[in-house]
Amino acid sequence: MRGLIHVVDDDASFRTAIERRLKKAGYEVATYPSAQHLLDCLPSGSELGCILLDVRIPGLSGPELQGRLSEIGSTLPIVFLTGYADVPTSVRAIKAGADDFLTKPVSSEELLGAVERALAHHQAARSQRSKLDVVRAQVATLTPRERQVFDLVIRGKTNKQVANVLGATERTIKAHRHRVMEKLQVQSLAELVSLAERAGILKDLSGTGQTT
């Protein structure tokens, strides 16, 4: 799998060595002498890749960078690679979502295996997210009124019930509902509900029963 590997390490000779090994394996590589350099240069974020991160680096530490990236919504998987490893640090890193935690010196087998797994994870997460984004974008095109109708319809309300709740005529709801189906490109109520369920709308339904 091709991909851009971001290497963060303060040891210039180590960076060069790792870069050489990765490039030899067919990866693109970007190196950074500190966490701040990566934060400053971090380009797209949407491109397939992963971060190879040392723990002890001047300025922001590895785990601190991990937290920062998580805050700003980065989805680049992180593989720690450090010589100063202790159990609590590694456990915290993994629990915080790091993809792997390797120790120097690292065999090429270990390194490339971890990178490959991280890229695979990133790939899977990206495709998952892009599907969601498409749906969310469509939902975002709904007008406020349409969105209200949408919310009630996917909970099993009939046009009549929606009309009562929103204080409008059944005919009006029918019109909104029609536009909703159109904008979200679905042909049936079942599809509409599926879509809503997958987009994370419809978190919890308790009293959905219709009082027919």
Binding site for DNA (CB under 7 A): 143-146, 158-160, 166, 168-172, 174-178, 181, 188-189, 212
What whole-number distance in Å separates Cα of residue 101 and Cα of residue 52? 10
What whole-number distance in Å separates Cα of residue 38 and Cα of residue 198? 34
Residues 107 to 126: which contact its own copies by CB under 8 A? Answer: none
Name the helix (H) or strand (E) containing 80: strand 78-82
| Partner in contact with 176, chosen from DNA, its own copies, none, beta carbon below 5 to 8 Å by kind | DNA
Question: Shortest approach of DNA to residue 50 CB, angstroms?
Answer: 40
Question: Shortest approach of DNA to residue 151 CB, angstroms?
Answer: 13
Q: Is there binding between residue 31 and its own copies (CB under 8 A)?
A: no
Question: Shortest approach of DNA to residue 180 CB, angstroms?
Answer: 9
What whole-number distance in Å separates Cα of residue 167 and Cα of residue 14? 68
CB 118 within 8 A of CB 94: no
Q: Report CA 92 to chain centroid distance, whole Å.
A: 20
Question: Shortest approach of DNA to residue 170 CB, angstroms?
Answer: 7
Give the x/- contact pattern for its own copies in 136-175, rule: CB under 8 A.
-----------------xxxx-------------------
Closest by CA position to 199, among listed 147, 123, 121: 147
DSSP string covering 106-167, please? --HHHHHHHHHHHHHHHHHHHHHHHHHHHHHHHHHTS-HHHHHHHHHHTTT--HHHHHHHHT
Question: What separation, in Å, do the N-terminal and C-terminal C-alpha atoms of the chain show?
Answer: 56
| Partner in contact with 60, chosen from DNA, its own copies, none, beta carbon below 5 to 8 Å by kind | none
| Partner in contact with 30, chosen from its own copies, DNA, none, beta carbon below 5 to 8 Å by kind | none
Name the helix (H) or strand (E) containing 198: helix 189-198
Question: Shortest approach of its own copies to residue 58 CB, angstroms?
Answer: 23
Which range touches its own copies (CB under 8 A), out of 25-33, 43-51, 167-175, 198-206?
198-206
What whole-number distance in Å separates Cα of residue 32 and Cα of residue 66? 15
| Partner in contact with 203, chosen from its own copies, DNA, none, beta carbon below 5 to 8 Å by kind | none
- List residues near its own copies by CB under 8 A: 85-88, 90-91, 94-95, 100-101, 103, 153-156, 187-191, 193-194, 197-198, 202, 205, 208-210, 212
